[in-house]
Structure 1
Amino acid sequence: MYKRYTVFIVLFWVSALGYAQESIVPDISYPYLDKLITAAKANYPRVKSLNYRLDMAQSGVGKAALSWFDILTFSYIYQPNNTLNYTVPSGTSTNNNRFLFNGIQLGVSLNLGTLLLKPANIKIAKTEVKIAGEERNEYLITLTADVKRRYFTYLLQQNLVKIQTQANQDMQTSIKQTKYKFQKGEITFEVYNAALLSSSTRLEQKLQAETNLFIAKSELEALVGAKLEDIQ
């Protein structure tokens, strides 16, 4: 009888392997995957941070371009008295004008060192924009690959749950049959106990598969920034 039960276990595992050989390819939805990638690019904090950095770099180019005016220094002097006195006689009133030129006097000075540095500063600002853009593009490639990997892992775990659930249901059916045979005395207690242990193992595997599915789902949602059910 024990040999017959061993044959039954072998057939049971062959059936389980048959479930495992099913492909996940039909479950893959590339339009849905594209929506997940788009959501991740829009919601993931790291992407937002890189976008802010790129915006700051672009603002730096405008600031560097406008700083051409920094090379010039404007000044003025205002003398309100329009009376011209070329000499200041002794003993005259303090109200007499002591200045040669009166009214508003403008002055402009040129900073040659700043002028020579301007082209280099603008080039550096533009280079910083390129660097920030390439860093963002590089991360978007990495993020896209991570979303795909977690999506495929999620589909795998879904199928593993189906396999383990079906296998557990088949095991429960076989346990009922084994229990019935044991009660009728057709099999020994050792055979019945082995079936119970196998059933416990199968149930544990089912629970572990369900846990792995929830973990895979939460990891994917962490990237896309939304519940999978909300992305249609």
Structure 2
Amino acid sequence: MKKLLQITLSIFLLGSVESNAQESILKDINYSDLQKYIDLAKTNFPQMKIAEAKKELVKTGISIAQASYLDILNGSYFYRPENKSVLDPVNPYNFNGIQLGVSVNVGNLLAKPYQVKRAKADYKIAVLEAQQNDKAVEMEVKRRYYDYVQQISQLKIATKIAQDNKGVSESLRNKFEKGEITLDAYNQSRLNQSASESEKVATEIEYLKAKDLLEEIIGVKLSDVK
């Protein structure tokens, strides 16, 4: 039993040493790569493209509103042949030839400035939304990148612990075969090896998930980023 406790304690301390050696990942942060990922996300992420398209669409509304000032004026003409009499009991002001007329829609005249002002306000809102979206995507890229770097570090730790536990288990197997340790001690080493291998597999899955999420937002494979 004493040997079993010593073995268990040794493996626990081994894991603790490895964890402490990797407890800071600040040195693993590559800010040059991070900026590349942010730039790629702002170019490729569909949400960014939608926000930019919306901004341009709203911007055209300003030009449309300004051009619609012409709707205020309504032109008309009246043609009276030269060989007709100019006498007109309904409208004595008629005369032969072409008569031109222009009318002004007062309602439209009063409404147009407000329509243009609204179009400009809508565009300003679209610009602010695009800026907000830009910042949100930047923060999301950072979050996913930090998670990715963390999972790389965790995978290194899990892999090292699994390798060490495997070495311990093989060493204890030899000792068990020589009768130097008990069956309980040997079985415990095998359980520790199995647990560390399972933890390694789980960590690999988390690493792949973090990698996929980062690639999703930047729009390309990490291996393709130069």
Task: Normalising by structure 1, report the TM-score.
Answer: 0.90
Query: Which residues of structure 2 form unaligned runs of 5+?
Result: none
Q: Which residue of 1 aligns with 2:85?
A: 85
Cα distance in 2 for residues equivalent to 1:83 and 1:27: 96
Aligned to 1:58: 59
The verdict on how the C-alpha distance between 1:74 and 1:56 changes in structure 2, with shifts beyond 3 A counting, is same
Are the equivalent residues in 1 in contact too, given 2:55–2:127 (CA < 8 A)?
A: yes
Q: CA RMSD in A?
A: 1.7
1:23-38 residue pairs with structure 2 within 5 A? 23-38=24-39
1:14 aligns with 2:13: yes
Counterpart position of 1:106: 100
SS in 2 for 1:122: helix
Aligned counterparts of 1:230 and 1:159: Cα–Cα separation in 2: 22
The correspondence for 1:196, drawn from 187, 190, 202, is 190
Q: Alignment identity in percent?
A: 35
- Equivalent residue, structure 2, for 1:74: 75
- Deviation per CA, 1:164-220: give whole Å up to 9, x if none: 111111111111111011111111212111111111100000001111000000011
| Inter-CA distance 87–68: structure 2 relative to 1 (3 Å threshold) | closer
* 1:151 lines up with 2:150 in the alignment: no
Task: Provide, for residues 127-153 of structure 1, a one-character-per-residue CA deviation record: whole Å limited to 9, x for no partner.
Answer: 101111111111211111111011011
* Residue equivalent to 1:92: none
Quick one: distance in 2 between partners of 1:32 and 1:72?
Answer: 59
- Look at both structures and tell me which one has the larger radius of gyration over its CA atoms: 1
Distance 2:18 2:57 in 1: 54
Question: Which residue is equivalent to 1:177?
Answer: 171
Check 1:19–1:78 CA distance in 2 against 1; reply closer, same or farther (3 A cut): farther
- Provide Cα deviations, 1:101-160, integer angstroms capped at 9, x if missing partner: 333321110001110111111111011011111111112111111110110110010011
Counterpart position of 1:130: 124
The answer as to whether partners of 1:44 and 1:224 remain within 8 angstroms in 2 is: yes
- Do the aligned partners of residues 3 and 111 (structure 1) sit closer, same or farther apart at CA in structure 2, a change above 3 Å counting? same
Residue 47 of structure 2 corresponds to 46
- CA–CA distance in structure 1, aligned partners of residues 174 and 87 of structure 2: 133
**For residue 16 of structure 2, what is the amino acid of its counterpart?**
L
Show CA shifts across 1:50-101 (max 9, x none). Answer: 111111110001111111111100112234x32242459xxxxxxxxxx953
Aligned length: 220
Conserved 8 A contact 2:79-2:97: yes
Shift of 1:40: 0.6
Given the alignment of the two structures, is residue 3 of structure 1 paired with residue 2 of structure 2, yes or no?
yes
Return closer, same or farther for 1:207/1:108 CA change in 2, 3 Å cut-off. Answer: same
SS of corresponding position for 2:102: strand
* Structure 1 gap segments, 5+ residues each: 89-98
The equivalent of 2:154 in structure 1 is 160
Q: TM-score if structure 2 supplies the norm length? A: 0.92
SS of 1:186's equivalent in the other structure is coil
